[in-house]
Structure 1
Amino acid sequence: MPAERSQEPDDARGEGGFGEDRDYSLRAVDRVCAILDLLQQSVDGISLNTVVEATGMPKSSAYRYLWTLEQHRYVERDEETGLCRLGLGFLGMQSRHLELLRECARPWLEKLRDEFGETANLGVLDSDRIIYVDIIESRRGVRLAASRGDRDPLHATALGKAIAAHLAEDRVRDVLARCGMPRRSANTITSVEAYLAELDNVRSLGYAVDNLENEADGRCVAVPLLGTSIPAAISLSAPAARFPAKDVGKAAKALLDVATQIISRPRPHTADGDVA
């Protein structure tokens, strides 16, 4: 029986895997990539008309592409405005980045936990919520700690404030409008303008504080991890009775130092200069 002949073009089977002289692109894939490029470049989201104008597709075709991407969660559409933005389907594609960030941050979070005796956290922005990627719990019997994978609102958490302070104002307003600003305690900020003013303060100080806002008996300090591909922040949290306001500055300084180390090198060093 004669050997079965490969159906691949001869120049696509070389060492490089694909030929350089021919165009093997698929129109549908090109269109999907064009839409995803538009979504990635947008802060506030894109409309159906934007897709039509940018790609030259018929409106009915553009709608079907967006609809299909939405079904697979690569696009999420605002029910009120009709604007589309990148959806949670891409979080899986970022899982390796998240895991690398967690691996880099964990020894530093452990160092913070050991130094202060309180819970250290790593959180990222996942759509409209803060998701806890890693938590190094305090060893004390009474402690303030979420669980890995828990989600908290942007407006009432130090992690949320630290990340939101470095987002475009329109994006922050959009998140607050869609999710609301429910009162979690007597201290929760529930006004958009008051929250934006708080973010100005966060940018000025370099750190954010949850001052009994998410939980009535909890205080938390957070700083952003700038320079990463994912909106992320680290924090220290503790019962307010054990974490008075006068200690916030000291904790913030330690967090800022650790944030710099996480971005610049992967693991903490000992007093002798060796990697821990």
Structure 2
Amino acid sequence: MSARDGPTLIGSVQRALRLLEVVSAHANGAPAKQLAREAGLAPATTYHLLRTLVHDGYLRKLDGGVFVLGDKVQALHTRSRGQAMLSRIRPVLTGLRDELGTAAYLTFYEDGEIRVAEVVDSPRAYRVDLWVGCEDSGHATALGKSVLRELDDEARQEYLSRHTLADLTPRTITRPSELLRRLDASPAAPAVTDLEEYSLGTVCVAVPVYWGDTVGSLGVPLPVDRRSRLREIPERLIPAANRVTRGLSLTI
């Protein structure tokens, strides 16, 4: 790109953003001519930008010839909201990492899947590599089992109907009935453990968190030679999870 091209590209971006601002002011949409007038743009420029923004999903053209914001804008808003949420609760996870000397993991149950939302670690913190994603290993991780324990019977059965309980280690629970029995009989509730079920040499403990009606989990891993600490970890995890839930409530 030459120096001469720079201002032209910047101007195009500015005009596109101005057009998006004008469209956002009309809940029921507005036609191209009105948008051009309100944005202070030439009609030809407006039509070109509208076609581009519709093509890329930032605007939609309705049957009446009016333009409204598209799904891409909503997606940007959702991601921005998620970033704001994580920035609010990240200090809690950082404090947990520093106190326990292990990485802190946060998950949420979204669209029927258990997904990692944040990992706070450091070069000196113990961590476990998620070689199989939480979407496919919910039955074998403390993070996933914590979420499953909080779901009602119908939601659990629906989840299990879509996921194979893969045999990740010799200790992995692969029978749905046994998994559910152990979840309901967990003696350390609300804490849930993974005793080398996901990765040999690693044990984990997790507790639930909530973002409105969305359940998630907060958990930490430990090397198996520190397994004796599992009993004391919930005493640190539960207050941290409560702070996370309170922080999340401010972003709803």
Shorter chain as denominator, the TM-score bin is 0.5 to 0.7
Secondary structure of 1:214's counterpart equals: coil
Q: 2:202 aligns with which of 218, 222, 244?
A: 218
1:64-75 aligned within 5 A: none
Q: 2:101 aligns with which of 111, 114, 117?
A: 117
Match of 1:230? 214
Q: Deviations over 1:108-163 (max 9, x none)?
A: 1110110111111111123343221111124328642449x874422111111111
- The reply to whether residue 262 of structure 1 matches residue 244 of structure 2 is yes
Match of 2:169? 185
Quickly say closer, same or farther: Cα 1:141–1:257, change in 2 above 3 A: closer
Give unpaired runs (5+ residues) of structure 2: 1-24, 29-71
Instruction: Provide the C-alpha distance between the structure 2 equivalents of 1:116 and 1:205, rounded to a whole number of angstroms.
Output: 20
Q: Deviations over 1:34-80 (max 9, x none)?
A: xxxxxxxxxxxxxxxxxxxxxxxxxxxxxxxxxxxxxxxxxxxxxxx
| Greater helix content | 2
Quickly say closer, same or farther: Cα 1:260–1:142, change in 2 above 3 A: closer
The two structures, once aligned, show a CA RMSD in angstroms of 3.0
- Bigger drift between 98-107 and 231-240 goes to 98-107
Q: Deviations over 1:83-131 (max 9, x none)?
A: xxxxxx9x94753453343222211111011011111111112334322
Amino acid aligned to 2:233: A
Quickly say closer, same or farther: Cα 1:163–1:202, change in 2 above 3 A: farther
Instruction: Provide the C-alpha distance between the structure 1 equivalents of 2:99 and 2:242, rounded to a whole number of angstroms.
Output: 17
Amino acid aligned to 2:150: H
Instruction: Provide the C-alpha distance between the structure 2 equivalents of 1:128 and 1:153, rounded to a whole number of angstroms.
Output: 13
Secondary structure of 2:150's counterpart equals: coil
Give unpaired runs (5+ residues) of structure 1: 1-15, 19-23, 25-88, 267-276
- The reply to whether residue 173 of structure 1 matches residue 145 of structure 2 is no
> Residue 146 of structure 2 contacts residue 192 of structure 2 at CA under 8 Å; is this kept in 1?
yes
Instruction: Provide the C-alpha distance between the structure 2 equivalents of 1:169 and 1:162, rounded to a whole number of angstroms.
Output: 14
Instruction: Provide the C-alpha distance between the structure 1 equivalents of 2:81 and 2:241, rounded to a whole number of angstroms.
Output: 17
Aligned residues between the structures: 178
Amino acid aligned to 1:259: A
> Residue 131 of structure 1 contacts residue 152 of structure 1 at CA under 8 Å; is this kept in 2?
no
> Residue 139 of structure 2 contacts residue 145 of structure 2 at CA under 8 Å; is this kept in 1?
yes
Q: Give identity over the alignment, percent.
A: 24
Amino acid aligned to 1:206: P
> Residue 106 of structure 2 contacts residue 218 of structure 2 at CA under 8 Å; is this kept in 1?
yes
> Residue 227 of structure 1 contacts residue 263 of structure 1 at CA under 8 Å; is this kept in 2?
yes
Q: 1:108 aligns with which of 73, 92, 99?
A: 92
Match of 2:64? none
> Residue 158 of structure 1 contacts residue 235 of structure 1 at CA under 8 Å; is this kept in 2?
yes
Give the TM-score taking structure 1 as reference length.
0.56
Match of 1:250? 232
Amino acid aligned to 1:187: R
CA-CA distance at 1:238 after TM superposition: 2.7
Secondary structure of 1:185's counterpart equals: coil
Instruction: Provide the C-alpha distance between the structure 2 equivalents of 1:95 and 1:207, rounded to a whole number of angstroms.
Output: 29
Instruction: Provide the C-alpha distance between the structure 2 equivalents of 1:178 and 1:159, rounded to a whole number of angstroms.
Output: 18
Q: 2:145 aligns with which of 149, 161, 165?
A: 161
Greater Rg, structure 1 or structure 2?
A: 2
Quickly say closer, same or farther: Cα 1:150–1:196, change in 2 above 3 A: closer
> Residue 103 of structure 2 contacts residue 126 of structure 2 at CA under 8 Å; is this kept in 1?
no
Q: Which has the higher contact order (CA 8 A, sep 6+)?
A: 2
Amino acid aligned to 1:188: T
> Residue 126 of structure 2 contacts residue 221 of structure 2 at CA under 8 Å; is this kept in 1?
no
Match of 1:40? none
Instruction: Provide the C-alpha distance between the structure 2 equivalents of 1:207 and 1:141, rounded to a whole number of angstroms.
Output: 21
